[in-house]
A and B are shown apart, each in its own frame.
Chain A
Amino acid sequence: MSARSAAAWEAGPDIPATHFVSGLVYTDETVFEDEKRHIFGKTWQLACHESELPELFDFRTFEVAGQPLVAVRGGDGRIRTFLNVCSHRGARLVQEPAGNAERFTCFYHLWSYDTAGACVDIPRADGFRESGLKQEDCGLRAVRTETKLGLVFINLDDGAKPLDDYFGESFKTFEPVMGSGELEVFHFHRAVLDANWKAWIETNLDLYHELMHVTLRKTQVAAGNMEDRQFYTFANGHAEIGGVRANYKGYKGWGGRDAAKSLPSLDPDDLLVAQVFPNSTVLTRGTVMRIDTVLPLGPDKALLECRGIGRKGDSAEDRLMRIGHHNAYWGPFGRNVPEDAIAAERCDASFRPGAARHQIIARDEDGHGQDDALLRNFYAEWGRLMGRPAHNPINQPAA
């Protein structure tokens, strides 16, 4: 055993190509640009939870692949999404993160649009008559919008397959939990990370990193049910983890969780995880749920959006209990989310200057324990969409 030469370090591990990832997937500008086009421009992306648009004319603004978007519940109750751009001079149409409006009026020249995206008013419209510009041709750019289990998804690609086809057989474990219509968002925070977006995803798909978190060492690893854990992979890059149990009393200062307060169909000590390819993860811990979405801002910068979800109609006491359970691990002052962010950033700090060259995803425990199967599944789909293998993304340019 010895340290390696530069050539050996560059060559990477002598293991199957599916079991390691080149550092260039995190740092290369052409990879980043192709990800925006081939992945974020083509796949279904989480916009929000339906409970964020409870009333007619409620709206939410957000971004996907750098594109500004606004989702709005119209007067007919349907949620639609548009590019958040005025058809006239291209100004950002809606500025607020959320609100309620029957019309969107651009601040610049006061062009107005209804919640179905039609242009409904152009001040002093006669001035455009000579050019032949017609108001009915000045609607907003509609973006495909569909919902599943209370989650609102959009797709920038008008030709994309329907959302249900995209999910396929995945996410069925969550149907009894999320299909009840009884859930609502109570927590939202954003965090800009000095890391590639995939470094965050890896923290969600890699159970081996339980060893980093003292909370998980004491509540999950110590529970010792590694063989009960089951990893499932699905078409289109989706994945699920089931069978993980937590003994919350294992961490000093934490108590147990009341079965009567669990989310529908869950035991209080269950941990279920679903990865919605490419960039959203749903985690439930019996009494509470977290959904996070990570968006690329640059090769080494990512925007993380985290939601906490509980039961609609909770008593004040139960809501506080759920918030407490959420904040124990998650949120900006949770015990785990800051650690995951730090892990992503410390990997980026090594890959960015080229010091780190490869990442190893070679654990194989027959789909149990702390298997890397979900990471390999993620990078297989990533490579398929990008037309580049993750172990060697530059030598084989995108088709």
Chain B
Amino acid sequence: MSAEPGSVERLIYESCLRLDLEDFAGYLDLCAPEFTYRITTYSAEIRKDMIWLDHDREGMQALLENYYDHVRRLGSLHRHVAVYAIDRQDDGLFRVTSSFQVTHTDLEGQSKMFAVGRYHDVVGESQKGPQLHRREARLETRELGSGSHLPI
């Protein structure tokens, strides 16, 4: 494994930038064939962990390809990310923990906080460089108004 923490960190930021720009092909390029994606959170009301979105790479591709067919929240999402920790594991993969804040900006330019949480990522390396093998977007925010058709 020749990837360096710096390139892993750039991958995390790049993945957010691609989604912010709704460059879905670019986002998927950063994901390994075995990529899995989840949005999770804990319900204090039913006292259970919950999964709010769960896809493999193929499922993510279908979800993103269908995106523009939906009636969706207008405007854009902006993901502000801070990488907290990058740990190389014995299996050669990196475990990466990051914090995110997602804001929504409407068509009139008004921005509001949408969600906060943490990414728990697993990053491996390919010939193209570091790639996401797994992403769990763990939400602190559970009240998301009308929700979103886009992953976090």
Contacts and interface: CB of A to CB of B under 8 A. Distances in A.
Given A97-B44, A212-B71, A253-B66, A187 B146 contact: no
A334 B142 CA distance: 14
- Max count, chain B CB within 10 A of own CB: residue among A188, A338, A339: A338
B98 to A, nearest CB: 19
Given A252-B66, A332-B147, A335-B149, A189 B142 contact: yes
Contacts of B84: none
Main secondary structure of the interface of A (DSSP, over half): mixed
A266 B142 CA distance: 31
B50 A341 contact: no
Contacts of A338: 70, 72-73, 146-149
How many residues of B sit at the interface, in one of the four size bands?
Answer: 20 to 34
B46 to A, nearest CB: 5
Contact of A320 (B44, B54, B73, B151): B54
Contacts of A253: 58-59, 61-63, 65-66
How many residues of A sit at the interface, in one of the four size bands?
Answer: 35 or more
B87 to A, nearest CB: 27
B134 to A, nearest CB: 15
B146 A324 contact: no
Interface in B13-62: 39, 43-48, 50-54, 58-59, 61-62
B143 interface: yes
Given A97-B45, A331-B147, A323 B142 contact: no
Nearest to B151: A333
A258 B44 CA distance: 32
Interface string A318-342: 0010011001000111110111011
Given A252-B66, A323-B54, A332-B52, A188 B59 contact: no
B94 to A, nearest CB: 26
A151 interface: no
A192 B149 CA distance: 17
A266 B84 CA distance: 48
B12 to A, nearest CB: 21
A323 B51 contact: yes
Interface in A250-280: 251-253
B51 A98 contact: no
Interface string A338-372: 11011101000000000000000000000000000
B129 to A, nearest CB: 28
B147 A327 contact: no
Interface string A151-193: 0000000000000000000000000000000000111111111
Contact of B143 (A52, A192, A341, A343): A192
Given A60-B45, A332-B52, A214 B66 contact: yes
A137 interface: no
Nearest to B43: A188
Contacts of A339: 70-72
B145 interface: yes
B107 interface: no
B48 A186 contact: yes
Contacts of B59: 253
A327 B143 contact: no
Contacts of B145: 191-194, 341
B44 A96 contact: yes
Interface string A115-150: 000000000000000000000000000000000000
Given A188-B50, A323-B51, A343-B71, A334 B147 contact: yes
Contacts of B148: 332-333, 338
A333 B69 contact: no
A190 B145 CA distance: 8
A339 B147 CA distance: 9
A13 B144 CA distance: 36
Contacts of A189: 43, 50, 52, 142-144
B143 A252 contact: no
A188 B146 CA distance: 15
List the 5 closest A-B pairs by CB distance, nearest first.
A253-B62, A332-B147, A341-B146, A338-B147, A333-B53
Interface of A: 52, 60, 96-99, 185-194, 212-214, 251-253, 307, 320, 323-324, 327, 331-335, 337-339, 341-343, 345
24 contacts: A60-B45, A98-B44, A98-B45, A189-B43, A191-B145, A191-B146, A191-B147, A193-B145, A194-B145, A213-B71, A214-B66, A253-B58, A253-B59, A320-B51, A331-B52, A331-B53, A332-B144, A333-B53, A334-B147, A338-B70, A338-B73, A341-B147, A342-B72, A342-B73
Interface of B: 39, 43-48, 50-54, 58-59, 61-63, 65-66, 69-73, 142-149, 151
Given A52-B46, A323-B51, A338-B147, 15 more contacts: A98-B47, A186-B48, A188-B43, A189-B50, A189-B52, A189-B142, A189-B143, A191-B144, A213-B71, A253-B62, A253-B66, A327-B51, A338-B73, A338-B149, A345-B146
